[in-house]
Amino acid sequence: MKFFFPDSQDLIDPSFDFERERRSTTRKRQRDDLYAHEVFSSTPFDGFLVSKGIVDGYGALGSRYTLAQRHRLLRLGAPEFFRIDQAPKKLSIMGDCGAFTYVKEEVPPYSVEEVLEFYGNCQFDYGVSLDHIILLFKPEADAPGALRDLVSEELRERRELTLRLAKEFLQKHKAGGYSFEPVGVAQGWSPLSYADSVRALQKMGYRSIALGGMVPLKTNEIIACLEAIHEIRKPGVQFHLLGISRPEHLKTFARLGITSFDSTSPLRQAFKDGKDNYYTPGASYTAIRIPQVEGNPLLQRKVSSGAVSQDVARKLEKACLEVMKLFDEGRRTVEQALAVLMEYERFYDPDSKKGHEAAYRQTLTDAPWRKCPCEVCHELRHHVIIFRGAERNRRRGFHNVWNFYQQLEKKLGFGQGSAA
């Protein structure tokens, strides 16, 4: 089984000075900033997943790429753009359309030809067929005699459209002589509808199939779909789970034919989750929030309105940064550090009914960054546990990805199978 890391242009600036919170004046993002595979001595994934919707941007979701970056990706190809020759092991690159970016449209905004050209120009190893996501799960629709109107005609047409596009994708892939491996997408709203989509894709000739639209599903619902698919799976056909990890269930997924998956959860939880921000093999910890006075919208509004003093805010902010440094050096106790941190939290968020005192006490007591052998924690020390700004938060996300992959390797022997 293989883990593909979805690209969202998440890089870190190696010149960033965490004590002064300044960057090098000569820093150039594309040239100097580092991808996760350039940070660690052991790469914490088996490949990238690059979405056309992320590269181009669509609708309200703007591109994560500048115009210059998009041109560079298409001109150089993904292997050179991502500098995968710098990785300690060979990485594969998979392309998809990013169906979530145009989910509200009646039809996908791209043509099959445009998608094939994008994958070909980017020099991907795998290319996922153009699809239209279905965000509905109605297992009762599988019951004998179930009413057809349990699933709208619009969603039924989405599934049929996805299959028609997959057929066209495979035909034009062959006619165009593209070198990447085609991956057909199965969409559905129930175990049997997913299985029917897979059956159709196998009949077309697909040997690699991606299962889409399952992100909102509960684990037992995903397993029910995989069991139905497993019943009709042809020997040698490989399956990729789009956007799903569920590490505690991956052995079950593998038993049911899943050979690869992708997920941004380890990275995003570092700065999106309310409590599980820092991964360890045995537990997750809450990162310690020390918001920047100038960078916190709520605090800035209070300062602007005169409700709080900017000078006091800056003093408390500085005190928190200092006490974390002293704590990591062994010159402050857990309770001494906690007192300073909570004074600032009560200042910038006095109305919160859920303070972080208990969670921070656990984080400080265990100080998990001191035990972690990854390069990020070794270099950053206590800065990795501070929730503050993109450079700290993204590095903590990289640590999570590294830790996530380490656990997967232990459970499943990652890096040993073939990709979808």
Beta bridge partners of 125: none
pLDDT at 133 over 50: yes
CA nearest to 64, candidates 1, 8, 143, 122: 8
pLDDT computed for residue 158 by the predictor: 97
> Are 419 and 259 in contact, with CB atoms under 8 Å apart?
yes
CB contact set of 384 (below 8 Å; sequence gap of 6+): 278, 369, 376, 377, 392, 395, 396, 399
Predicted confidence at residue 152, as pLDDT, reads: 95
∠ CA 73-76-82, rounded to 5°: 60
Residue 306 backbone zone (phi > 0: left; psi -120 to 50: alpha; other: beta): left
Q: Is pLDDT of 393 > 90?
A: yes
Contact call for residues 207 and 237 (beta carbons, < 8 A): yes
Phi, psi for 33 (deg, rounded to 5): -70, 155
Q: What is the pLDDT of residue 418?
A: 42
User: Per-residue pLDDT averaged across 209-213, rounded?
Assistant: 97
pLDDT at 299: 84
Active site annotation includes 96: yes
Mean pLDDT value of segment 289-305? 87
One of 7, 96, 125, 328 is an active-site residue; which one?
A: 96
The confidence score (pLDDT) of residue 296 equals 80
Catalytic pick among 7, 196, 262, 328: 262
Which residues, 6 or more positions from 225, have their beta carbon under 8 angstroms from its beta carbon?
Answer: 188, 190, 191, 194, 195, 211, 214, 217
Residue 309: phi and psi, rounded to 5, are -85, 130
Q: Is CATH 1.10.580.10 the classification given to domain 2-263?
A: no
Give the start-to-end residue ranges of the domains of the chain: 2-263, 273-401
pLDDT at site 60: 67
Among 77-81, 120-124, 225-229, 295-299, whose mean pLDDT is lowest? 295-299
pLDDT in tens, 285-296: 999 999 999 878
Model confidence pLDDT, tens digit, residues 310-360: 999 999 999 999 999 999 999 999 999 999 999 999 998 887 777 899 999
Range 261-283 average pLDDT: 95
Sort strands 258-262 and 238-241 into parallel, antiparallel or unpaired: parallel
Exposed e or buried b for every residue in 387-418, given b needs 16+ CB within 10 A? bbbebbbbbbbbbbbbbbbbbbeeebebbebe
Instruction: Give the start-end residues of each E strand in 150-246.
Output: 181-186, 208-211, 238-241
262 catalytic residue (yes or no): yes
